[in-house]
Structure 1
Amino acid sequence: MILRLESNLHSMPHSKKKQRLHKDAAVATDDGGGDNSTSAIDRLGTDMFAHIFGFLPSKDIMRARLNNKMRLAAKKTIVPDADFRVYNEAKYNCMAAMTSALPGLQHISLRSLGCFRHIKYNDGEDPDVQEAVRTANWATLDIEIILSFRRLHSLEIWNAPMNGSYSFLFNYPLLKILRIRALDYLSKPKWDLGMLSGVPLLKELHLHDNEFLNGNINSLRVLKGTIEKVYISNCRRVQGNFMDLADFPRLKELDLGLTDVTGDIRQVGEQDFLALETLILPNGVYGAQGYEFQNISDAADVAKAVYSIKKQRPALLIRDWYAYLSKNSVDWYEGVDSDDERTPLFICLVEAGSRLGYRWESESGHSCEVIWLDPDPELERESSDSEEYIEQLHHIESRVFFRGFFQPPTEEEYNLQCKTR
């Protein structure tokens, strides 16, 4: 009966739905009647309707609200995981209608409202003054209506035309996913990581290209028990030490690229970041990918630390790790001439099968000898693993240009090596 009713609600035109409801109501007897005289629809309660509506897209639920019972059921409905996107005035008006008709909406995405339309959301607290003056005569939409959706599980703010601080947007006790990007020139929201205390169940945090995002990643500790993914990239005002997140038991993905976060990769211990599968750190972290060493002698300890992290967490994706010697280092030189690309002043990880090591190489791939940190695997020659390892090892050895050198040669040794090749 439920499946048949759902099909009818989904497929019948409005007029036919109303006719059917009126007809069923007329058939009902004064004494309540039996199954044969009582409408199947009338026998369903609001909770059952709410359950049925939960299988429909939001637009179909809005169309199915044919009487008071169905309207009440829609208000109680937990709307499916469909993403409702607001990208123009019409969509905004739909969202406004849903605030009372469908407050159980769980996923909302506030997007750009269109270029050159002179439409914006109302300014928040402490707005950028010049932007506020420039847009003073624009049509303004009330962003606070979003507070009606108290069951939100996912909120995305993607280049929405906003200006100032909107702390109320971080007051969702059931929120699981938060995505904010403010790369568009019309988007000037001010955020602070301390606002995350209002979303205690958050699992995923995605903050990208936020010029006005401030705060210390230590503020994420309020999410220690729930957070699984943290992506804070190109947010230059975000500070802190990445090790403040080391004891998060569920943290699988951590990307802090292009932030002002610091730390030391050598401090990562065996019991730190136990669930981690992805790690991207800014070059302000000592030994992070892209880090600039001041001395050649500093690199070995860092490479060994990265190796240790990788070995303790085989699923961790750091195979593309590299660092290089700073041009301000006393060890740095240009080689034969400034156009020479063979100076091996980059250090990177090397893999052959399950065997890990590191080596110095140039931008063009001219490398020193590999410093293996794993022993040569004792595999049978006939096994496919052994064949793959030998093939990879042969490829690695074929790129060695500076034979006998396990770290960059001096400038004199380099010039001599190049002349003899």
Structure 2
Amino acid sequence: MPRLQKKQKLEGNVAALTDEAAGDDSLTSALDILGTDELAHIFGFLPPNDIMRARLNKKMRDAAKTTIVPPVEFIVDSVDKYNSAAAMASAMPNLQQISFSELDSRHKYIDGEDPDEHTARFTTNWITHDIEIISNFRMLRSLNIETEHFLNGRYPFLFNFPLLNKLSITKSWDLKWDLEELARLPVLKELHLEWNPQLTGNINSLRALKDILEKVEIIDCKKVEGSFMDLADFPHLTKLDLRDTDITGGIREIGERDFPVLKSLSLPKDVYGGYGQEFLSVSDAHDTISVLYSFRKRRFSSLLKDWSGKLSEDSPDWYDADRRAVYNPAPMYVLFVEAGSRVGYRWETAHDVPTVCEVNWLDPEPHRYSSDYEQYIEELEEINEQVDIYRGYTQPPTEDECKRLLAEFMVDLS
């Protein structure tokens, strides 16, 4: 029987089992026919809330306890959702995916070991809840935590899930832990850590997961240190993002055999080729971009696709064209541009809709009979249409030129 028809038949059985007429003879007959294992298999096609509602008797409750719950995210973002999660911890322990977010006003999770004293005093009269209920979900594959001040201190049990594939911890200001604890997650493939000021450790700790990690994002975790080259021999690592950390190294250290399958790379701005790198002159930017471009050509073309840099305010070339404006209208940022397979770079402003300079093309124009020529022409026209104020400029104009161009543009608008 095709899988889709089988799934529809199973879901039809569940619909019958959970019908409002729970006392009908037909329901009793169906329950007598189906065993616990069969019910657990049927429940495996339902989201968590529906499984909980389908627990009508002891047989169904026993089935729910053995059901491998589909990887549908259950988000704990209120006291009601917490109470549901607490019930699931005993009734449905094979949950595979869960997220913990903020609770209701003046509610928090019980403080862990070594809590931040200021936060503990501020929240001392809040109603507390025990997040250790999560320990009962031994089949957990995906865990997401975004709790701001609702977790305070150390919670070692958060890293005791032998089947966890994905871990995301963001905006957890008072959660204290070290990268070494990740060694207790032996099959972790994807790691996303962002805005965790209490996170410590050396990135070398990830070597315990060398043969399994595929994506590593550690962003704005300023106490994380070490050399990113310690991950250079990870055979399955496709994405590495280390922005706003204390990681050292630089693009020029990467050899031909390093990071063999890496497709996306973002390094801290203070290292050579890092995301947001600041330049002391416009010419410095050109030299760095030439190195990055060469690196891209040798590896995956998308490797540094999202890279950008900017002119340092300490540069003699930097200026603020209009100090009254919310944003500097001068093109002080530089980034890659693509049209088809052709790569270049341009200077632009920091606005959501930037004002841009002309493109400095690094590749020759593709041949008119090449496979992507039509795509190139279409994207090139779109890029050229974006240029208005700084038409004819391939790098930031001088301060006097910029002010003149802005004044002329304003006159044209009026």
**TM-score above 0.5, yes or no:** yes
- State yes or no: 1:193 paired with 2:183: no
Q: Which amino acid in structure 2 is aligned with residue 356 of structure 1?
A: V
3-state SS in 2 of match to 1:132: helix
1:179 is matched with 168
- State yes or no: 1:44 paired with 2:34: yes
User: Aligned partners of 1:4, 1:189: CA distance in 2, in Å?
Assistant: 45
3-state SS in 1 of match to 2:125: coil
- Unmatched segments (≥5 aa) in structure 1: 25-39
User: Aligned partners of 1:141, 1:77: CA distance in 2, in Å?
Assistant: 26
3-state SS in 2 of match to 1:286: coil
Deviation at 1:346, TM superposition (A): 5.4
1:129/1:9 CA distance change after superposition, 3 Å? same
Conserved 8 A contact 2:339-2:377: no
Deviation at 1:122, TM superposition (A): 1.1
1:35 is matched with none
Deviation at 1:51, TM superposition (A): 0.8
User: How is 1:6-405 mapped onto 2 (pairs within 5 angstroms)?
Assistant: 6-16=14-24, 20-21=27-28, 24=29, 40-115=30-105, 118-159=106-147, 161-182=150-171, 188-294=174-280, 298-316=284-302, 318-329=304-315, 332=317, 334=319, 347-358=334-345, 370=360, 372-380=361-369, 384=374, 387-388=377-378, 391=381, 401=392
3-state SS in 2 of match to 1:236: coil
1:342/1:12 CA distance change after superposition, 3 Å? closer
3-state SS in 2 of match to 1:65: coil
- Unmatched segments (≥5 aa) in structure 2: 1-8, 409-414
Greater Rg over alpha carbons, structure: 1
User: Aligned partners of 2:54, 2:339: CA distance in 1, in Å?
Assistant: 61
3-state SS in 1 of match to 2:111: coil
Conserved 8 A contact 1:278-1:317: yes
Conserved 8 A contact 1:113-1:119: yes
User: Aligned partners of 1:172, 1:263: CA distance in 2, in Å?
Assistant: 32
Conserved 8 A contact 2:171-2:194: yes
User: Aligned partners of 2:379, 2:118: CA distance in 1, in Å?
Assistant: 62
Conserved 8 A contact 1:294-1:326: yes
TM-score normalised to structure 1 length: 0.77
Conserved 8 A contact 1:342-1:366: no
RMSD: 3.9
3-state SS in 1 of match to 2:32: helix
User: Aligned partners of 1:100, 1:358: CA distance in 2, in Å?
Assistant: 56
3-state SS in 1 of match to 2:343: strand
User: Aligned partners of 1:208, 1:90: CA distance in 2, in Å?
Assistant: 27
Task: Show CA shifts across 1:231-253 (max 9, x none).
Answer: 22222222222233333333233
Q: Which amino acid in structure 1 is aligned with residue 176 of structure 2?
A: K
- % identical equivalent positions: 48
**Which has the higher mean CA deviation after the structures are superposed, 277-286 or 342-351?**
342-351
TM-score normalised to structure 2 length: 0.78
Deviation at 1:175, TM superposition (A): 0.8
User: Aligned partners of 2:15, 2:321: CA distance in 1, in Å?
Assistant: 78
Q: Which amino acid in structure 2 is aligned with residue 79 of structure 1?
A: V
User: Aligned partners of 1:313, 1:152: CA distance in 2, in Å?
Assistant: 36
User: Aligned partners of 2:330, 2:392: CA distance in 1, in Å?
Assistant: 10
Deviation at 1:81, TM superposition (A): 1.7
Q: Which amino acid in structure 2 is aligned with residue 61 of structure 1?
A: I
Conserved 8 A contact 1:349-1:357: yes
User: Aligned partners of 1:90, 1:335: CA distance in 2, in Å?
Assistant: 51
Conserved 8 A contact 1:250-1:275: yes
User: Aligned partners of 1:104, 1:168: CA distance in 2, in Å?
Assistant: 17
Conserved 8 A contact 2:267-2:273: no
Q: Which amino acid in structure 2 is aligned with residue 113 of structure 1?
A: L
Deviation at 1:46, TM superposition (A): 2.0
